[in-house]
Amino acid sequence: MTKATQVTDHGGGVQSIRVPIPDNPLGYTLIYVLDTDAGPVLVDTGWDDPESWDTLTAGLANCGTSVGDLAGVLITHHHPDHHGLSAKVREASGAWIAMHEADAAVVRRTRENDPSRWYAYMARKLLAAGAPDAHVAPLARARDEGAPRRLPGLDPALPDRTITPGDLLPLPGRRLRAIWTPGHTPGHVCLHLEEEHPARLPGNGRLFSGDHVLPGISPHIGLYEDPDDATVTDPLGDYLDSLERVGRLAPAEVLPAHQHTFTDAPARVRELLEHHESRLTGLLTLLAEPLTPWQLAERMEWNRPWADIPFGSRTIAVSEAEAHLRRLVKLGRAEAVAGSDPVTYVAAP
Ligand SMILES: [Zn+2]
Ligand SMILES: [Zn+2]
């Protein structure tokens, strides 16, 4: 495949580049290039990897511009497949980087936190969720040895600007409005291009949806992990509210960060809402007996049997189980068993 095939022209001054994510089943991030009177602006940047960088820069050339010409970078959320190359883009162009404040806070925390503090926090959380010692041991070892976090995006770029929900972004010649869609991350935003669809498809403009609404995948919803904040958040509740907000916008076309563009956003939103409702109902059946979050995760349906899920993904799965428990408790459909340690949850009578 030549680099030229990585670029798609969506019309109306919007193109996209498929920037690969190495060793990841998602395959690539769709990086959008939006023309403005001040120069091209990117929506997300892609994974920090030499091949990804080469694809991005070659793609920009195929879009008729270059990385040095970029005026700005709008980040849908802080994940490394979206924000990974931002520092390199800024270095090569002087472009500003904009992000919602809640995700900027995650970036600051990631940069400032001592890795051993993070490991200690995660080990504590996993034990409280009922994880077996064998699962927590590597984290405890890393905490004690002060090992660096072997995670990508350890040193993500600090944004220069804040994306304020509800505001039109200051992009000369364009009408692009920020829609706050927390859930997948606390500061996830969708960007609504309030201009008529270039092919005059019915609906309200186009929506850059990041990971919030994808055509064939339901994004991961876990807890917002913050060692400094004990607030009991409800990320799944946030996500479901954000979904309804995006459905009501009724954009003519959705430009997501993975997979492919699609129409009829309200139908996709309904599908996702139904998926989560049936998942929550299914969990209540499992919660006929008291279960820790870990035990619930073991019994939940994943894309493969629990025994085949590797260490890191199990941690993510437990976080997703906890997000669902939070929602059920908040709705009064499940409750914590008084005095249980680690805490167990059971369906409400
Ligand atoms: Zn993401
Ligand atoms: Zn993503």
Q: Which ligand is nearest to the CA of 316?
A: 1
Q: Which residues surround the ion ligand 1 when the cut-off is CB under 5 Å?
A: 79, 211
Kindly give the distance from the C-alpha atom of residue 290 to the centroid of ligand 2, in angstroms, as a whole number. 34
Specify the range with the lowest mean pLDDT, choosing from 107-116, 154-163, 247-256, 328-337: 107-116
* 119 has pLDDT over 90: no
Kindly give the distance from the C-alpha atom of residue 82 to the centroid of ligand 1, in angstroms, as a whole number. 7
Q: Which ligand is nearest to the CA of 187?
A: 1
The per-residue pLDDT for 225 is: 78
% of the chain with per-residue pLDDT over 70: 96
Q: Which ligand is nearest to the CA of 106?
A: 1
Kindly give the distance from the C-alpha atom of residue 348 to the centroid of ligand 2, in angstroms, as a whole number. 35
Kindly give the distance from the C-alpha atom of residue 33 to the centroid of ligand 1, in angstroms, as a whole number. 19
258: closest CA among 203, 223, 212? Answer: 212
Kindly give the distance from the C-alpha atom of residue 99 to the centroid of ligand 2, in angstroms, as a whole number. 15
Q: Which residue has the tokens 């935003």?
A: 189
The per-residue pLDDT for 4 is: 52
Kindly give the distance from the C-alpha atom of residue 344 to the centroid of ligand 1, in angstroms, as a whole number. 29
Q: What is the pLDDT of residues 30-52, one digit of tens each?
A: 999 999 999 999 999 999 999 99
Q: What is the pLDDT of residues 181-209, one digit of tens each?
A: 999 999 999 999 999 999 999 999 999 99
* 155 has pLDDT over 90: no
Q: Quick one: how far is CA 76 from the chain centroid?
A: 8
Kindly give the distance from the C-alpha atom of residue 50 to the centroid of ligand 2, in angstroms, as a whole number. 18
Q: What is the pLDDT of residues 132-145, one digit of tens each?
A: 999 999 888 877 77
Q: Which ligand is nearest to the CA of 259?
A: 2
- Read off the tokens for 195: 């201009």
Q: Residue 180 in contact with residue 242, Cβ under 8 Å?
A: yes
How far apart are the C-alpha atoms of 229 and 206, rounded to whole Å? 35
Question: Who wins on pLDDT, 191 or 303?
Answer: 191
Kindly give the distance from the C-alpha atom of residue 81 to the centroid of ligand 2, in angstroms, as a whole number. 5
Q: Which ligand is nearest to the CA of 82?
A: 2
Kindly give the distance from the C-alpha atom of residue 7 to the centroid of ligand 2, in angstroms, as a whole number. 18
* 267 has pLDDT over 60: yes
The per-residue pLDDT for 1 is: 44
How far apart are the C-alpha atoms of 302 and 308, rounded to whole Å? 10
CATH of domain 3-105+156-269: 3.60.15.10
Q: Which ligand is nearest to the CA of 47?
A: 2
Question: Who wins on pLDDT, 190 or 313?
Answer: 190
* 90 has pLDDT over 70: yes
How far apart are the C-alpha atoms of 194 and 75, rounded to whole Å? 18
How far apart are the C-alpha atoms of 18 and 30, rounded to whole Å? 5
The per-residue pLDDT for 146 is: 67
Specify the range with the lowest mean pLDDT, choosing from 10-24, 100-114, 320-334: 100-114
User: What residues does 30 pair with on adjacent strands?
Assistant: 18
Kindly give the distance from the C-alpha atom of residue 200 to the centroid of ligand 1, in angstroms, as a whole number. 30
CATH T-level topology, domain 281-347: Arc Repressor Mutant, subunit A (1.10.10)
Mean pLDDT score of the chain, rounded to an integer? Answer: 93
Query: Per-domain residue ranges for the chain?
Result: 3-105+156-269, 281-347
- Read off the tokens for 79: 């994940």
Kindly give the distance from the C-alpha atom of residue 48 to the centroid of ligand 1, in angstroms, as a whole number. 14
Topology match between the domains 3-105+156-269 and 281-347: no
Work out the pLDDT band at 5, boundaries 50, 70, 90.
low
The per-residue pLDDT for 49 is: 94
Kindly give the distance from the C-alpha atom of residue 221 to the centroid of ligand 1, in angstroms, as a whole number. 10
Kindly give the distance from the C-alpha atom of residue 211 to the centroid of ligand 2, in angstroms, as a whole number. 5
Q: Which ligand is nearest to the CA of 31?
A: 2
Work out the pLDDT band at 116, boundaries 50, 70, 90.
confident
The per-residue pLDDT for 148 is: 60
Residue 210 phi, psi dihedral angles, 5° rounding: 55, -130
Kindly give the distance from the C-alpha atom of residue 331 to the centroid of ligand 1, in angstroms, as a whole number. 26
Q: Which ligand is nearest to the CA of 79?
A: 1
| Residue 265, CA distances (Å) to 213, 226, 249, 346 in order | 8, 32, 9, 35
